[in-house]
Structure 1
Amino acid sequence: MTLERRLNAFRPDLADERLVGQVQAARFVAGKPAEIVVNKSAMRIQPDDASALDTELLWGEEVMVFDRRDGWAWAQCKLDGYVGYIKEDALGELHADKTHWVIAPRTFLYPGPDMKIPPLDTLSMGSRLTVTGEAETRGTRYLLTDRGAVIASHLAEIGVSQFNDYVSIAGRLIETPYLWGGRSSFGIDCSGIVQVALMMVGKHVLRDADMQEASIGTEIERSDLQRGDLVFWKGHVAIMEDKNMMIHANGYSMTVARERLAGAINRIAPIYGQPRLYRRP
């Protein structure tokens, strides 16, 4: 059986030591932990800026690094197992366990607890930080982290769910630009919004639409569709808002948008055919 290259770290010259006996490689190594220290880091198929964008990793997410050379790291995302090449300068040493994550679509990271100070960076929903304290300035409460200060209401403890409906989270990303391989509120693709929205309610799923089609929940009939169900076409996935309306990041509007399922089926059919599957997470 051929292992999925997106979820297993192996090349002819090097492979993850956990794959001994499963793949052929000149050398097997243990991955070394690191974390993402930029607001989002592209993960590419090859160590080349012109190479296709497979996915993105968010601030504070952990990776296992198997190789570093020529400014690139070959790594695996701990969250979903995705393997690829990321810029080495996007990585830092693994800090303390992350305690909080961003629950707003986007927020600013300030050097101190004051919104009037120019921010250090902008963080996307799902970015992870370690909170070390809190402060209040002119009536605005901030959480102090190992990287800077963030508006307190824009963060929540990881594992203490602020949401119980992942569809409402997807709805907060309406009009986010469509980006093939994107996984942030700066740009996102169809399976990216499914993964991020489910992640924010504590459900971890695989990254790409074909992986999600094969693994999420249970298969249902179109006649049974309800809020939160997923519709899969070849290479595409959408989230049902109710039995008629859906939310999806799509290359037609080039945004995250609402669309009637019936209209989408008619529009997509000449290019990609009918939906292949309906699933309930």
Structure 2
Amino acid sequence: MTQPLDRRLHAFRPDLADERLRGQVEASIFSTGEPAVVSAPVADLRPAPDLARGIDTQLLFGENVRVFERRDGWAWVQSDEDGYVGYLPETSLGQPFEATHRIAVPRTFVYPEAELRKVPLQALSMGSRVRVTGEAETRGTRYFLLESGGAVIAAHCVPIEEAASDDYVAVATRFLETPYLWGGRSGFGIDCSGLVQLSMMMTGRKILRDSDMQASFGQEIAREELRRGDLVFWKGHVGLMEDAETLLHANGHTMTVARENLDAAIERIGWLYQYPTGYRRP
């Protein structure tokens, strides 16, 4: 029996579908969509064009999307980064640009000019993509000037073709005490699978967005084999190992990204969400 397509990863509705799905789904119209880029610092992606609906995930400034529909102030899009499909406010989109750098710290400010004493225009999360068109220095601090306007601290950026680190666990630890946010995928608020995905993305590794998608990533291992960098899965939850005994995870217990002894976490989580469903090594 053929498994139905996951609506989170495939753009299809009875009236409109991605051209690449022709022959797999039925739709009145098939479209190749049009390219756009996220122009908001963080854009909430929802399963329906309704602000009352919870967010599935978030897209970051400078990330590319394919737009299949614009209607009533909403855009139906698919992320180029991880294939996630959903609705976001049309005002969150702008014209595509070729990014030169990526933000490499959990959060940074965009100033109106190369002067940290000025009131920031906005804040950007780790993983955001920017196009640098110039440089400036003020009192010994080096800034990158952005094509979109404003300036960021140069030391907070890495070239787009370079990984920010070769250790995704070290990247994850930089988010310690970041608030937990269901569907969050930024330095302003993040959930369990968002932490795994964003940390890996900054080291040049690609992994899908949600924990059930991530549960088949890498190689299955036994609990006694766990070491730094391995993933632990529960139904609806994932964490990564800082070492053989310590779990790093964004969780609804502390409502932060936190360290927790794995045995203690298994015992605490078990009464409500049962025990781990698997252990994997990326």
Aligned partners of 2:38 and 2:121: how far apart in 1?
15
What is residue 188 of structure 1 aligned with on the other side?
190
Aligned partners of 1:198 and 1:174: how far apart in 2?
16
- 5 Å-filtered alignment, 1:120-159, equals 120-147=121-148, 148-159=150-161
Q: Is 1:270 aligned to residue 271 of structure 2?
A: yes
What is the TM-score when the length of structure 1 is the normalising length? 0.98
**CA offset at residue 6 of structure 1?**
0.3
Q: Is 1:221 aligned to residue 246 of structure 2?
A: no
What is residue 40 of structure 2 aligned with on the other side?
38
Residue identity opposite 2:180 in structure 1: Y
Aligned partners of 1:162 and 1:265: how far apart in 2?
31
Residue identity opposite 2:62 in structure 1: G
Counterpart selection for 2:165 from 163, 166, 180: 163
**CA offset at residue 161 of structure 1?**
2.0
Aligned partners of 2:78 and 2:184: how far apart in 1?
17
**CA offset at residue 243 of structure 1?**
0.5
What is residue 250 of structure 1 aligned with on the other side?
251
**CA offset at residue 52 of structure 1?**
1.7
Aligned partners of 1:274 and 1:164: how far apart in 2?
31
Counterpart selection for 1:207 from 206, 209, 217: 209
Aligned partners of 2:158 and 2:167: how far apart in 1?
16
Residue identity opposite 1:19 in structure 2: L
Aligned partners of 1:192 and 1:207: how far apart in 2?
7
- Structure 1 unmatched ranges of 5 or more: none
**CA offset at residue 170 of structure 1?**
0.5
| Partner SS state of residue 207, structure 1 | coil
What is residue 113 of structure 1 aligned with on the other side?
114
| Partner SS state of residue 89, structure 1 | helix
Could you list the runs of 4 or more consecutive aligned residues of structure 1 that deviate by over 4 angstroms after TM superposition?
none
What is residue 75 of structure 2 aligned with on the other side?
73
User: RMSD over aligned Cα, in angstroms?
Assistant: 0.7
Residue identity opposite 2:156 in structure 1: H
**CA offset at residue 15 of structure 1?**
0.3
- Cα deviation per residue 1:213-232 (whole Å; 9 max; x = unaligned)? 02x11111111100000000
Aligned partners of 1:221 and 1:146: how far apart in 2?
49
Q: How many residues align?
A: 279
What is residue 5 of structure 1 aligned with on the other side?
7
Aligned partners of 1:263 and 1:143: how far apart in 2?
45
Residue identity opposite 1:234 in structure 2: K
What is residue 240 of structure 1 aligned with on the other side?
241
What is residue 23 of structure 1 aligned with on the other side?
25
Residue identity opposite 2:36 in structure 1: A
- Cα deviation per residue 1:49-69 (whole Å; 9 max; x = unaligned)? 001210000000000000010
What is residue 279 of structure 1 aligned with on the other side?
280
**CA offset at residue 91 of structure 1?**
0.3
**CA offset at residue 199 of structure 1?**
0.2
What is the TM-score when the length of structure 2 is the normalising length? 0.98
**CA offset at residue 162 of structure 1?**
3.0
